[in-house]
Structures are given as structure tokens and as C-alpha cells.
Structure 1
């Protein structure tokens, strides 16, 4: 009976609910699945000889530990200027290293008020959770029981920790790879608008959010907002995509390609046909009453030649004009377009090599797109659509193209930059004024 009693009173080991590796999927998506999914338990991450732990209660972060010295309570309080360096040294001597890492004892020793203590707890939880984004290779488990201290009186949404972790600790290469795994062109979900404050974004991130309302890509954001920190832009997109706040979207301005606009020969040729605009029926005579002998009651009808009606010419289609751009101003007119056959893997490879060579020569935007200097916006747009058709990351992935030297990525980014500059009237005018002297 003693053995039975002792065995029944033995502690029950936590049950492992999930296990995996950091490289299996974007780490932000893993944490989002736990937090937004409302899971409870403890995540333990082992990587680089270190162990990190995060405690969840119904998806809310309530506890976290980190072996990094910068994540200690005193260092976090010092970094946020809640205490002075002298106070930090005094507290370390008074409490010792282990007790000084207890937030409540630390707050009592420093005399922090209730509001400051809650703020310190939030910063500790966010900093330690975000630190896990610095682990590139590791294994994690999720247990059904929490074994680390829980910080009472404060709750941290996982989305704030995800953005902080991406921005501060995750490598740029890892974020780029994670974003590619999640999609290419993104648009903000309407229902996600109410949840944006949970990411704790600031004014600096607002241009990214504005662009995502209409759908955008990372190269487009980098091209149109050069004043923004590229790492910040990347962190915002990875965080929102991992939490399903933005979703992959197709090109919102997909334009049919004019007939014979082929990139196989790396040049653009436009051939279009248009029906003649119907002209009004031309009357041969016009009858008007004429007075005879000044007698008002006696009238005779005398035929006189009608004023010749000027024949209307069918409007001609500008080169590289899109189908919709033609039919909007000329409702009666019709344009026929036919998309050429898709390029093969070898042709796409030659296309990338040719454009990469032009990029290395430093040619202007017009020459890079393969269009005449100062070509109209319609032609710029058509060239962009045709190039993007083959250079988008998802298309290259379909073809099995391994962009080992990032040539395709650089070429596509330059295509987006050229399109952005040449379709904006003000920026285009400045650019043409700068480039024109070199063209002579």
C-alpha cells in the first residue's frame, strides 16, 4: 500500500502537446498559431546551447525566461531609463542575481509604483519572447503545464512580441525567406483593421499599412518609400502575414498584353487592330421653306445643298495601350489583343541574364524596360506587366528557377522601381530632365 500511495502522490510529468523545429515554418507563424489560437501551456525552445521558455494562458503571454543577460529585469529597466546605473548596481548587491530577476522584488527594492511595475512586466515579457526570434536553428516543445514563474496583473498579446522579435532579432535573410513562404503580394484583410493596435505599431509604420489597404509587394514598398527603414518594412509585412492580418492577393491591375508583345527577343512590338467608328448618316439634301414675292402665305420648297458633314476618322490606338484604356474613351471602338505563348525556362533564364547585364551597365529606366526614351505611360505599364509576368517570385518558383545569386530578385526590384518612377508624373518629369542630357 505504501508503494501505491507513494506512486499516486508522485508528480505527473507535463504532456507534450506539440513538438517541432524552428526551420519547419516561419517562427512568427508558429507563435501566432499558439497565441491567436488561444492555446495554454509552456513552449520550450532549445537552440545554440541555450533554453528559452514562454508561458501561455488562453493565448496570452503570462511568463517568459531567457538566458541572455540583456533580458534580465535590471537590464531591461535600465534600457528604458526606469532606473539609473547606480541603482542597478545597488539592487544587484542587495538582492543577489537570482532575486534581482524577480520583477516584484525588483520593483519593491527600487520603489517603482504600480503603473511602472506593470509597464516593466510588459517589457520583460515582450523582450524575452522576442528574443526567441534570434534562434535560427533549434527545436521546440509545447507542454500542457506551466513550470516557470507567471507575472500576474499583466497580459501581453503575442502579436506585439512577434513584431518586436522580427524588428529587433530576426535576420533579414530569414525574414525574406519567411515572407516568400507566406506569399508575394499582400492586402490587408478588412476584418483585421480592428486588431492592428495589438501589434503596437507606430506612426513610422503607417505608410506600410496605407499601402497594404490596396495590396502591395515588398519591392514596391521599398521603391515607393525609400525614406522608410527597409528592415522595418520587412518586419511589418512578416508580422502581419504570419498573423493572417494580410493575405496573399493577385495583381489588382492585371492588364492584357498587346498582340506580339514578346520578351523572347527582349524587345517590344505592338500590333493592334481597331474597327472604324461609325459616322452619322449623311443627308443628301436639306429642305427649308423659302418666301416667294414677299408673300408670307405663299411658300415653295426649294432644295439647297446640305452642309457637308465632316467625316470622322477612327481614333488610332497609341502604342502599348491596354484594352481597357482604349475602350473607355472610345466606347464604339474595339481592340483585339492576344497574349503570346509563355516563355520557356531557358528563355526566362536568358531574360534575367540580359536584364541583369543592363542593370550592371547602369542604363536608364526606359532602356531597362526595353521601351523608347520618354515612352508614354501606357507603354511603360504594358512593359511592366509583361516583365512581371515572368519575374514574380511565385512564377519563378513554378518554373523551378533557383535564384542563387539573387539576380532575378534584383531585376524584378529594378522593374518595379522603373515602373513606379515613370508612371508618376512629377517623378517622371524630374527623372527625364536628369537623364535627357546623357541621351544626346
Structure 2
């Protein structure tokens, strides 16, 4: 007869799972900084063993008063035992109790040390040897602490492909002999471009899913917010771009509660219930935006944050300053003349100057090959025809958009537009 699990078994598993999500990445990066980036797998093994010990110990003896501190202590003890057995640097086994390296181990899990370790890990993984996709996966696994399954779901990849990427990244670390940047990395702000880009891509991956049954993957967005906050709150490291990115993410995330209904149906900006927008998050985003534009160089991230700022301060869709948003997109096009920016500019033009003007510009850009005829293109064109009372062409465009989209919420949204015809 199978024995019943003790009543606290489920609660223990639940707590350990929660702590794993919150602390795995932080603990791995801290230990990897101590042992060296070449010993990343060793750091992972120690942290994994600590969590396994937690499950076993807590189920037998109950929860400790401070479970996080308990995990830190176990990790430190396992690190010391590893150094004794393997006898490798940075901590000499014969004198580990009386060296400054041992003091580093004692302070390894202090909040400021954890943040510093994570910043260094992000900088390290943004090395040119890694592809952008590998950088993104590396950050999600070793800084954010997401599992292979979570990364695969978030990036719409197979678990096998994610696992192979992680293995390849570790091989590159060994082949290129990569290491943690030294403390002087804080003085080299120009190296932040790759860091900003990878965090920006991480947020975009979560904000607009191109496949699956959800339009958003909020866990990716909030992980990007947490990571950019590390940069934006670091007085030595932050730049105008860091502040602008933090602002941009906050202003977008503030609208999350209104982007989907209870049935996971996509709600467009025009019909969102703005009472659901997080006003505290908007206020914080606006504060960081104002701070970011004190240096008036107006980068891509600052302009995108300015556009989000305009949307956030509008009391209703009708009161949105579309003319200003048009100007901001025109400014953005000077440095980023991509198809997506052109399309967003046309949307702003549609609402500020009407469908006819926007349609003429779309035809002009089409003739120059500036636009990609994807689902967003046909959705916009369908709305233009719809506004010009040409329901036949509008329906044709919406059907093309439905065929091209792989996102179920977007598909259903366009189907609802088609049904109105």
C-alpha cells in the first residue's frame, strides 16, 4: 500500500519552486563570479544540490525561519567543501579560513554583490562570440534563472534547441577563455550598447508573441524590467539609454491588465479600459523618462519612450496627441528606417490626418520597397479600406492577414474585425 505524503510535502515543493525561480540565477551568477566563468557548470551544480538539500531537509525537519539565508549558507558550505576537495584557485585550500578570498565568499550573497555579479554576467554574455539568440538564451538561463522548458516556451523554441544553445555557449566560454569583466567595466559605458540591446530584445519577446495562444509572455517582460533596473539604478553605470529603456518598459507594462480580456482575447489600444492601467507604474515610467532626456541626444530608446509617454498621458484614445506621435516616429525613422517603424508611423498618420493621407503614403512606401507585406501590413490596409467604406477590399486584406498570422489572439482579433463587415 502506497504511503500518503506528509501534509507539508506540497507546501515544501511549492516554496522551493518559488525560491528556485527567484534565486537560482542570482546564486549561480554569484558563485560563477567567485569560481570564475570557466567553472559555470560547477556553480550550477552547487546551487542545484542546495535546492535538492532544501527539499529533503525541510520535508524532514520543517521550514527554516529564513529559507533564503538557509540556501545561502548551504551554498557557501558546499563551495568551501568543493575548494577543499579540488584544491583550485581562487581560494587556496590550506589557508582558506584566513584569506581575503574567504571574506569574499562570506559577502558573496549580499544584495549589492548579487546585483554586481548579475551585471557582470550580462556584460560577459554579450561578447561578440555569441549570436544574439544565444545571448538572449544565456541571460534567461544564467541570470534570470529560467529553466530550459520555460525558455523554450517563452522564445517559442524546442527544448532541444534551447539546450543545444546553452551547451554551445559554454563551449564558447571555454574556447575563447572568457571571464567575468573586472570592476572597471563600470567605467566603460560604451560597452553597454549590447547589454541594452539584449534586454530590449528580451522585453520584445515577451510583449508581442508571434505564435501560440497568448499575445504576451509577461514573465519575460518583467525579467527584462528587473535587469534594466539593475543598470538604471547603478550610479556608475547608467546612461540616458538605460533610463529611457526602464521608462519604456514600465509604460508598456502598465497597460498589461487592459491588453487581454478574461478569455485571453486581444484588446486594441482604442478600446482598452484605461482605468485598468497601472497609474503608479506610469508615474514611475514618466519620472525615469524625464530623467533620461536631461541628456538631449535623443536616441532610439528615448524616442520610443517618448511615444509610450504620449500614449500613457492621454486620458482617452480620442485625446491622444497623434500629431506629436507622428513627429516622434518621423524622428525615429532618421536613425531606424525599418519596415516596422514605417508601419507604426503610418498608423499614427492614419489617426492624425485620416485614412486617405495614410493610404497615399502607404502606396508611396510600397513602391519604394520600404514595407513588408505581413499580417500587420494587411491589418492596417484593411482598416484603411474599412475607414474609406470599401468593405470588399477591407475583407480581402483581413483574410490575408488571418492567413499570415500564427498568433491565435491576433488571428481571433482580425476575425472579429472581419465579422464587423
Could you say which structure has the larger radius of gyration? 1
Which one has more relative contact order, counting CA pairs under 8 Å at least 6 apart? 1
Q: Same fold (TM over 0.5)?
A: no
TM-score (norm 2): 0.27
